[in-house]
A and B are shown apart, each in its own frame.
Chain A
Amino acid sequence: MAGREKGPLTEPMYYVLMSFLDREMCGTQITEFVEKKTAGRVKLGPGTLYTLLAKFQDEGLIAEISVEGRKRTYQITDRGRESFREELERLRACVNDGLEALN
Chain B
Amino acid sequence: MRHIYKFTPVSMYDVHGLEKWLEKLAAQGLFLKKYRPLVCTFEKGEARRVRYRLEPYPYSLAVDFPDDMVELFQECGWRHVGEVHHEMLIFSCADPHAPEPHTDPDIQLEQWNKLYRTARKDFQHIGLFVLACLAVVAFFLFRGGTPLTRLLLFEVNTWNILLVLALRPLIELGVYYSRMRELSAVIRELEGQPAKHRFWFPSRQVFSWAGAAYLAFLVCFLVILMGAGRTLGLARPVTEFPPLYVTDQESGKVIGTDMGGWGFSPLCWNQRQSWDMETDEGRLLSLQVYWFDFPNWLSFLAVPAAKDLLTDSMKLNSRTYPWRDREAAVWSAQDWSHAGADWLSVADSENGVYHTAAAALGDKVVLVQYMGSGPLSDYLDEIVAMVK
Cβ of A47 under 8 Å from chain B = yes
Cβ of A43 under 8 Å from chain B = yes
Partner of B106, one of A10, A27, A53: A10
How many angstroms from the CA of A47 to the CA of B111 in the assembled complex? 10
Q: Which residues of A contact B106 (CB under 8 A)?
A: 10
Q: Which residues of B contact A47 (CB under 8 A)?
A: 53, 55, 73, 100-102, 107-108, 111
B71 and A45 within 8 A (CB): no
Q: Which residues of B contact A42 (CB under 8 A)?
A: 103
Q: Which label, helix, strand, loop or mixed, suits the secondary structure of the A interface?
A: helix
Q: Known contacts being A47-B55, A51-B111, A72-B68, is A28 close to B103, with CB within 8 Å? A: no
A48 and B102 within 8 A (CB): yes
* Shortest beta-carbon distance from B328 to chain A in Å: 65
Interface centre among B78, B102, B106, B108 (most CB of A within 10 A): B102
Q: Please report A residues at the B interface, Cβ cutoff 8 Å.
A: 10, 12, 27-28, 31, 42-53, 70-72
Cβ of B104 under 8 Å from chain A = yes
How many angstroms from the CA of A43 to the CA of B53 in the assembled complex? 17
How many angstroms from the CA of A27 to the CA of B106 in the assembled complex? 20
How many angstroms from the CA of A42 to the CA of B104 in the assembled complex? 9
Partner of B107, one of A27, A43, A48: A48
Cβ of B72 under 8 Å from chain A = yes
* Shortest beta-carbon distance from B199 to chain A in Å: 29
A48 and B104 within 8 A (CB): yes
Q: Which residues of A contact B78 (CB under 8 A)?
A: 46
Q: What are 8 inter-chain pairs, A to B, with CB distance below 8 A?
A: A27-B72, A27-B76, A46-B101, A48-B102, A70-B71, A70-B74, A71-B71, A72-B68
Cβ of B75 under 8 Å from chain A = yes
Cβ of B99 under 8 Å from chain A = yes
* Shortest beta-carbon distance from B64 to chain A in Å: 13
Partner of B108, one of A48, A53, A72: A48
